[in-house]
Amino acid sequence: MGQLYPVVLILSIFIAMGLTLLLLISALREMVMMRVTGMSRLRIIAMLFVETFLIILPGSGIGALVAHCSFGYVNLTALFAYLMGGALAVLVFVAFFVRLKPMELLQVKE
């Protein structure tokens, strides 16, 4: 069991990153529209962090509650890893988002 724990922890981080990236990619067009209408990059980035953590924190809380009711304890290391996976996904998305110009993001590639 001790050998499986790090694998599950790393898998949890990648799941958090993947789900967060899917959430952010679906909102990309909305963010581009905000950028085109004059909202600053810094404000959009701050909005991304707040929006993402307003989704991740209640989900983590519900997961911790279910774990506590089911097993009698909450694994804080795994909970922290899940939160860090979400934060890392936002950073990856921001690195992609900041590099491109808004009009490049609006173009549809066939």
Average of pLDDT values for 69-93?
A: 84
Q: How many degrees, rounded to 5, is the angle at CA 109 between CA 108 and CA 110?
A: 115
Determine the pLDDT at residue 108. Answer: 65
Rg (CA), the chain: 17
Q: 42 is written with which tokens?
A: 């810094």
Residue 108 CB neighbour total at 10 angstroms: 4
pLDDT at 1 over 60: no
Task: Report percent pLDDT > 70 for the chain.
Answer: 95
Nearest to 17 by CA among 90, 97, 107, 109: 90
Note the pLDDT tens digit of each residue in 13-64.
Answer: 888 888 888 888 878 888 888 888 888 888 988 888 888 888 888 888 888 8
Q: How many degrees, rounded to 5, is the angle at CA 87 between CA 52 and CA 32?
A: 55
